[in-house]
């Protein structure tokens, strides 16, 4: 049986690394890894023990993308977190459009039967969720007072809407609210990375007194929904990607305090900043992915417990 050919754009991203690792474990796929520079992807493949595998090819640059045949194209290209963006919010629009249009051109002109999987975000629901996302949730944007925190939401909503207009093509938008794996970049500036950095440096973790609720999807669950999309064949839809259960900040703090001796201090005046808006509640109850047979195996706390072990290694309580 011939292996399905998978093109992964932005193959050195956090999301892509987890997918690549799981594709290798599956053994049923041939990956073509698209990147700007090969050094990082070679280092990654070496670290996961797959540098000598025959199930991948490294494609440096995107000039040849339209010349090959793929069964699935997965777009993991992003502009990075606010720490890396450094205020250049126009990249949200230009980078997203560049690679999205490239893949759509591929579907239209090269292989209209291919599946395009695009990573969207829970930000599509707006910059400030007061409650969990639902099927009938609204994204309310003040047209005459658009803030920088609205930009990413608009980008994702625009991309998803564009994809639905190509209803003759196989395009899936996967809305990730939160994702965590052993491959995360600890300089990303998220709550979870700052906490892990505090543990690694043996410093007290500073946090504000606001509760947050997050839905960290496990790499194996993300791979599971990818496979369900591939199996669906003819499909054009957007799905909220959920874990088995979201997690609250206190649960996370309690776990790391109990298991690793985390010391933390609550400071009420500490700002909670995000380039996409303040989201204390950031998860979905819209389980529409069940329509293609997706059922998450891991809770958010499971994900944190299992994946953080690979980052913290033999770190023990102080």
Q: Does position 36 have pLDDT exceeding 70, yes or no?
A: yes
pLDDT given at position 34: 97
> Tokens 């706390």 belong to which residue?
301
Q: Does position 315 have pLDDT exceeding 80, yes or no?
A: no
Tell me the mean pLDDT in the region 181-189: 94
Q: How far is CA 120 from the centre of its chain?
A: 8
**Higher confidence at residue 44 or residue 2?**
44
pLDDT given at position 138: 93
pLDDT given at position 274: 61
184 closest CA partner among 197, 176, 193? 193
Return the percentage of the chain with pLDDT > 90, whole number.
Answer: 84
Instruction: Give dist(CA 97, CA 255) in Å, integer.
Output: 40
CB burial string 289-313: b at 16+ within 10 A, e below: beebebebebbbbbbbebbbeebbe
| Averaged confidence pLDDT in the chain | 93
pTM metric for this prediction: 0.94
Q: Does position 25 have pLDDT exceeding 90, yes or no?
A: yes
Q: Does position 241 have pLDDT exceeding 70, yes or no?
A: yes
268 pLDDT tier (thresholds 50, 70, 90): confident
127 pLDDT tier (thresholds 50, 70, 90): confident
Q: Does position 192 have pLDDT exceeding 60, yes or no?
A: yes
pLDDT digits 0-9 by tens, 76-125: 998 766 556 666 789 889 999 999 999 999 999 999 999 999 999 999 99
């Amino acid at each position: 049986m011939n292996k399905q050919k998978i093109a992964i754009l932005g193959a050195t991203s956090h999301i892509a690394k987890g997918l690549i690792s799981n594709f290798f474990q599956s053994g049923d796929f041939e990956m073509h890894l698209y990147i700007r520079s090969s050094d990082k992807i070679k280092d990654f493949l070496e670290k996961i023990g797959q540098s000598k595998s025959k199930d991948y090819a490294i494609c440096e640059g995107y000039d040849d993308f339209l010349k090959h045949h793929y069964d699935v194209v997965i777009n993991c290209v992003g502009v990075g977190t606010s720490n890396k963006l450094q205020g250049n919010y126009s990249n949200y629009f230009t980078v997203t459009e560049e690679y999205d249009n490239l893949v759509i051109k591929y579907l239209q002109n090269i292989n209209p039967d291919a599946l395009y999987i695009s990573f969207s975000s829970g930000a599509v629901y707006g910059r400030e969720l007061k409650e969990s996302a639902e099927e009938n949730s609204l994204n309310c944007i003040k047209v005459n007072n658009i803030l920088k925190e609205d930009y990413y939401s608009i980008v994702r909503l625009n991309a998803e809407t564009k994809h639905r207009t190509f209803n003759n093509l196989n395009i899936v938008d996967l809305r990730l609210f939160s994702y965590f794996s052993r491959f995360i970049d600890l300089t990303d500036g998220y709550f979870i990375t700052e906490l892990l950095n505090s543990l690694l440096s043996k410093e007290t973790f500073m946090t504000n007194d606001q509760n947050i609720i997050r839905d960290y999807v496990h790499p194996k669950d993300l791979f599971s929904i990818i496979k369900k999309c591939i199996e669906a064949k003819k499909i054009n839809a957007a799905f909220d990607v959920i874990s088995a259960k979201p997690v609250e900040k206190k649960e996370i703090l309690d776990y790391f305090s109990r298991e690793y001796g985390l010391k933390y201090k609550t400071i009420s005046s500490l700002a909670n900043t995000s380039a996409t808006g303040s989201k204390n509640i950031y998860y979905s109850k819209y389980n529409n992915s069940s329509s293609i047979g997706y059922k998450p195996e891991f809770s958010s706390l499971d994900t944190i417990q299992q994946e953080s072990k690979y980052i913290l290694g033999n770190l023990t309580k102080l």
